[in-house]
Amino acid sequence: MTAKDYDLLEDWMGRPHWQEWWGDVDTELGYVRDMVEGRDRTRPFLFLLDGRPAGYIQSWQVSDNLVEPWISKAPWLIDVPADAIGVDLSVGVEADLGKGLGTAALTAFLRKLSDEGHRNIIIDPDAANARAIRAYEKAGFVPLLVAPDPDSGQETLIMHLQTDGAPKQPGFQQ
């Protein structure tokens, strides 16, 4: 992902299926700008379908978030492996939902992370996001714990995937 992709991502973030699970567009886009511009070690990517941008995916290090304010916002972080890498994703447009695109993109991304040597991978959907949870289970994640969200009062389902960390094939380019 590059700065050229900000307008596309801003459009996606404003769509109802993003707004249901993501935060304020300006705030979220600010986080992505920090990533792209090197102020945050989270790695942002776009994934493609038939050559067109079709969604967003990112990876982040649990160990980078074992500090305030993240511990207060997500106290469950202390209950997952400190060496874990977290993943977040969303399909860009509504027309691409329910077609297996999220699962396919996630599976390919997980292969990339395993190739990089990551053994513990987590994903943290809202416990009410049944569509995402099904996609994540299809990609191999299993429930690890349910954590209350201190800000919203809703629950987050922390899901875990353990890989062997052995290289399998070439991965994505950032």
- ∠ CA 51-137-114, nearest 5°, is 65
- Residue 123's pLDDT is 97
> Which range (29-33, 36-40, 150-154, 160-164) has the least confidence?
150-154
CB 168 within 8 A of CB 110: no
- Residue 172's pLDDT is 34
Alpha carbon distance 1, 20 (integer Å): 23
Q: Is the pLDDT of residue 165 over 80?
A: no
Instruction: Kindly report whether the global pTM for this prediction surpasses the value 0.95.
Output: no
Q: Is 43 helix (H, G, I), strand (E, B) or coil?
A: strand
Averaged over 78-90, what is the pLDDT?
94
Task: Encode pLDDT of 109-146 as tens digits.
Answer: 999 999 999 999 999 999 999 989 999 999 999 999 99
Q: What is the mean pLDDT of the chain?
A: 90
Q: Is the pLDDT of residue 169 over 70?
A: no
Q: Is the pLDDT of residue 150 over 90?
A: no
Q: Is the pLDDT of residue 72 over 90?
A: no
- Residue 23's pLDDT is 87
Averaged over 13-18, what is the pLDDT?
96
Whether omega before 81 lies within 30 degrees of 0, making that bond cis, reads: no
* CATH T-level topology, domain 46-162: Aminopeptidase (3.40.630)
Q: Is the pLDDT of residue 153 over 90?
A: no
